[in-house]
Structure 1
Amino acid sequence: MRLLVGTIATIILLSMQLTKAEISDCDFYDTVNISSAKVLSNGSYEYDGLLIPAELTGMYTTMHLPDGSKKDVPSHRRGCVCKLRPCIRFCCPHNHKANDGSCIGEMSKDELESHNRYVELSLSNGTVVKRHFQEDLVVQSDLPLPCGDDKMHWIDHTLPGNGFTLFENGTSFRHWDSATLDKRKYCLQHAEFKGDGIRITPHFCHLDSEASQTGQTIVMSISLICMVLTISVYLYVKKLRKLHGKCFICYMVALFMGYALLLINLWNVWDRPSIGCTTSGFMGYFFVMAAFFWLSVISLHLWVTIALPPDSVSRFLPEHRFRAYNIYSWGLALVLTGVVVLADNVNLDKDWTPRMGTTQCWIYTGDNAAFLYFFGPMLLLIIFNIIMFILTAVRIVKVKKDVRNCAQPQQKNKRLNSDKRTFTFFLRLFILMGLTWSLEIISFHVRQNELWGMIFQVADYLNWSQGTIIFVLFILKPSTLKLIKNQRNPIREWSATVSRSREGRNTTTGTEGVFLSRA
């Protein structure tokens, strides 16, 4: 009789457990699927050596997704195991490994024997301990991936600034941007690192503050094509190949090379670190800085030719100006690149070294080293350009006032209009490059704030679109299109010039005839 009563009670208890809804006061991401776990007579479950009380189990018919929505799944029982023992949340089965942000399958026998099974865990009292991921923690590998089907980023602890901290409560702290992630936003998986074997590392989603790789590629590719078209037009049209036009061509060549290398590096063509990656980074740095030096040459040339008296120009600048401009622009860019190479190879504090080719094929941008070697010189050149353009603008205003009081205003007014057109032309160029890179400098200082990072994505896309904007502003304007048309029809242009010359001579002859008849 007692046996019968006990059996009936057990059946009733199990029936109650089977109909129990989701576990109250337990986050879905603190649970595991215990459908295949051993059921004990008191209604508790034995899972992976852990005893789970009946009140910490429940039936689930949905899966909670990272974005807060739910997805219908077959009914199954889950247990709130993370309330009983610290958990470790894996992206895929714990005996699999990831490569390039995706799970690639089970590890080999040798890899299973040699991989690092320990993680450092920060306890609630602040102490840091090493824990075996299977023996000391509960493995969760059936939770939905943080990014769905998208490829994940991972933290490479071998690179500077890429540290992370795992906490006992399941959260993770990302050092480089001081972001705290719960288990909805990250997962862990075995990954292989050069010189450090296979170990567990966090994986996370693409940041909202980072531009899409595909979008960046499309924008930069169009921009590079427009740069080539702009350079081609300036080389084709003879009237555009004056001194300031030659400087503009050099500026565009430097900008094209710098952006082309940045685009190549975007797609991780080179391994990091590697000689190819580091060399590509130094070359990209050289050409970007050369572009800034050429812009400063253009602003200096405008000031000298517009603001200074003609007799002062020859004293202020050497006879072969274009040669001097080349030595200045390419030479100083080479000097700065040499400084960066030297700083990268001497025994300085790592916080003061460029660390070219470590996290990317560029200067490390995780701390103030980027400002010291890149944004700092850039800011100085932007300030120099601002001063030059202000001085030139002041001179143009002064000349405009003088023209009004001049005895022969027509000739001077013609020269003034020409200077104003040239000044306006390059002022647009400076505003475009100066504004976009100034926003980049501001973006660098607010990079750890996700909201500001999203806002300054606009500056990134403007920066990558410089070639496209320059092509629209400088090539598609009516005056340039007219020059291209005339260049294609030199006979028509020559005929127009001869016609104007004849009209001038006829007018002069007619006037002389009037004077002679009067005499």
Structure 2
Amino acid sequence: MVQCAAYRYRATIRRPPAWLWWWWCWLGCVLWLWGGPSRVNAGGSAEPCTGLEAIDLSNATVITGDGVIEHEGIRYGPSQYFHDESGVRRGCVCRVRQCIYVCCTTAIDQCLVSELQVNISDPTGAGPHQTEDLMADDRYYLLYSLPPCHGGTVLSISGDEFLLHSGGQLAYGTSLFGYHHFCLLAPDENGQVDAGFCELIDINEAHRWYSVGILVSIPFLLVTFIVYALLPEMQNVPGKSLMCYVAALTTTYILLALMRWGVYDLLSTTCYTTGYIVYFTLLAGFFWLNVMSFDIYWTFGGSRGRTTERRKFLFYCLYAWGTPVLLLSLVLLFDHTELIGKDMRPQIGESRCYLKDDKLIEFLYMYLPMLILVGVNVFFFGVTAKRIYQMEQATATALSSESRRHAKYEKDRYRFSLYVRLFTIMGVTWTVEIISWLLGKPSVASSSWLVYALDVCNCLTGIAIFFLFVWKQKVKTLLLQRFTKRRATGRKGHQAYATSTISTTQSTEAKHDPNTTITLTDMTHAN
């Protein structure tokens, strides 16, 4: 019997890995976000005024024969009104009166105010200023809406930080904003009128760089989470803790990037919701860093209780997720009740989509918990480093003779070094953040170097976590084994099916071949 084997030549075409396609898609999205908002509202309008500034003058009264008309006590000359495409006569009220925007994101009847007491100076701003009610001053016309920031966002400032010129310009520091670039908030319970101003182009550029820096980190954080989720061998207590930390950090980064891009409207429901979520996830990230610091401290502490790994991780979850939930509950309670005065409330989502832009508020609700956790982490790492040094000095001989203990010790020691590097990276990032917070707002005329330092730190965070915890030989080997085993299992199943089919076919042919002689011995041993 001659067996013939047929060989087929298969040309192998190496396709690029799947992650490369995803990386290019992500890069394209980042570039689109970078260029997209800058083109919003780039085009002009042929009409002399639009929107709220174009008042319907259909019922206006003709005053003189030269085209002067009057509506609600305001007179318009021929050059101050026009007919739109539908033939409706509209007047440019801001050409007759000095317009002032009142910050409003809901229906106008819900934003109406009875008075608006503001510090006003002469047009140059050099003379003395006095408090005047804009509602009672015929020189001003109030528009209830957010100012047209042309793709930018509105930042809030306190009433004692700005001055309104009688010419309608808002003076803040060394910068002047025209009426198109600021709005006044409704008076608070103390009668103080705060304001919001549009970010200038250079400030927008700084925020875009900050957002792009965050977006660069996000793919590396997502890959880190996915890799640990795919490998059961990495899902011990330290691995699960890292997954929780990465999940909190990724959520924070995504929402912060959206906030920096001005996606949410001020005082909107999404603005409030995003502010509370960012507050929770930001604190949760720090609490999970604290958990990892404590876990390595406990590992080298010599304490060996009977708590199982599952029970220990449950306790960690209750602490790292539960404590931020309690802090968030307090923030919600303070914001929506009268337990404390308004000056001490977090006021998330009112002047911006996060905590009120006030140093005391930010310190009490955000930086104080962070500083406490960072201090505790420094203590844990310091004590752990001291214990490692003492163990190396006292038990070097014993460890060399006990290979199993030595292997576990080296593993824990390596994990400690990883945590120290991770803590250092996050520590540098938030140290720069705290320094920028202490120095105050960067100049609205030019971006601060701290913004670019934060951008670099945020770029490095996700990349550093990826290379510290994923780009390791152990993880690469586990991934290779997992996917190789899966392909091998598939090939074995296919081969087993093919072998079974061939055996069945051969036995069937033998059964029906009249020339085949099956001896009794063969029949006996067939089973």
Q: TM-score range by the shorter chain?
A: 0.5 to 0.7
Change (3 A) 1:463 1:117: closer
- 1:364 Cα deviation from its structure 2 partner: 1.9
How far 1:295 sits from its partner (Å)? 1.0
- Specify which of 390, 403, 410 is matched with residue 398 of structure 1: 390
Q: Corresponding residue for 1:335?
A: 326
Judging changes above 3 Å, is the alpha-carbon distance between structure 1 residues 349 and 106 closer, same or farther for their aligned structure 2 residues?
farther
Structure 2 residue 412 is matched with structure 1 residue 419 = yes
In structure 2, which of residues 474, 478, 481 is the aligned counterpart of residue 483 of structure 1? 478
Give the Cα–Cα distance (whole angstroms) in 2 for the partners of residues 154 and 407 of structure 1.
Answer: 61
Q: Residues 403 and 413 of structure 1 are in contact (CA less than 8 Å); yes or no, is this contact kept in structure 2? A: no
Deviation at 1:266, TM superposition (A): 2.8
Is 1:486–1:492's contact at 8 Å kept on the other side of the alignment?
no
State yes or no: 1:128 paired with 2:119: no
Q: Is 1:166–1:173's contact at 8 Å kept on the other side of the alignment? A: yes
Distance 1:250 1:440 in 2: 23
Give, in angstroms, the shift of residue 220 of structure 1.
Answer: 2.3
Q: How many residues align?
A: 370
For structure 2, which runs of at least 5 residues remain unmatched after alignment? 1-44, 53-79, 83-88, 101-117, 140-148, 188-194, 490-527
Distance 1:384 1:218, change over 3 A: same
Trace 1:405-484 onto structure 2 (pairs within 5 A): 405-406=397-398, 409-411=401-403, 412-448=405-441, 450=443, 453-463=448-458, 465-484=460-479
Contact 1:97 1:106 in 2 (8 A): no
Q: Post-superposition shift, 1:483?
A: 2.9
Q: CA deviation at 1:127?
A: 3.2
| SS at 1:360 equivalent | coil
For residues 320 and 254 of structure 2, what CA distance do their matches in structure 1 show?
Answer: 19
Structure 1 CA distance for aligned equivalents of residues 326 and 167 of structure 2: 51
| CA distance in structure 2 between the aligned counterparts of 1:206 and 1:359, rounded to whole angstroms | 20
SS at match of 1:420: helix
The amino acid across from 1:453 in the alignment is: S
Aligned partner of 1:164 in structure 2 is 162
| Residue of structure 1 in register with 2:282 after alignment | 288
Partner SS state of residue 263, structure 2: coil
Alignment correspondent of 1:109: 90
Query: 1:271 aligned to 257, 265, 274, which one?
Result: 265
Match of 1:219 in 2: 213
Distance 2:186 2:166 in 1: 28
Amino acid at match of 2:129: T
Q: Out of 302, 317, 336, which is 1:326 matched to?
A: 317
CA distance in 1: counterparts of 2:450 and 2:181, whole angstroms: 34
Q: Residue in 2 aligned with 1:21?
A: none
Identity %: 24
Report the RMSD for the aligned CA atoms in angstroms. Answer: 4.3
State the alpha-carbon separation in 1 of the partners of residues 380 and 412 from structure 2.
15
Letter in 2 for 1:298: M
Aligned to 2:374: 382
TM-score w.r.t. the length of structure 1 is: 0.61
CA distance in 2, matches of 1:465, 1:368: 30
CA distance in 1, matches of 2:349, 2:138: 38
Q: Quote the Cα distance in structure 1 between the aligned partners of 2:486 and 2:181.
A: 72
Deviation at 1:491, TM superposition (A): 9.1
Distance 2:351 2:165 in 1: 25
1:342-394, Cα deviation, whole Å (9 max, x unpaired): 12123333332111012322112333201110111011111111111111111
Unaligned runs of 5+ in 1: 1-91, 100-104, 138-149, 495-519
* Residues 316/460 of structure 1: CA separation in 2 closer, same or farther (3 Å cut): farther
The Cα of 1:154 is off from its aligned counterpart by 7.9
Q: How many angstroms apart in 2 are the aligned matches of 1:485 and 1:154?
A: 47
Residues 266, 351 of structure 2: 8 Å contact kept: yes
TM-score by length of 2: 0.60
- Are the structure 2 counterparts of residues 314 and 256 from structure 1 closer, same or farther at C-alpha, using a change threshold of 3 Å? same
Distance 2:200 2:331 in 1: 33
- Give per-residue Cα distances to partners, 1:72-100, cap 9 Å, x unaligned: xxxxxxxxxxxxxxxxxxxx99x74799x
In structure 2, the CA distance between the partners of 1:136 and 1:331, relative to structure 1 (3 Å rule), is closer
Over 3 Å counting, the alpha-carbon distance change for 1:387 and 1:317 in structure 2 is farther
1:363 to 344, 355, 368: 355
CA distance in 2, matches of 1:190, 1:111: 18
Q: Secondary structure at 1:314's aligned position in 2?
A: coil
Q: Which structure shows the bigger proportion of residues in strand conformation? A: 1
Does structure 1 retain, via aligned residues, the 8 Å contact 2:334–2:346?
Answer: yes
Shift in Å, 1:186: 4.3
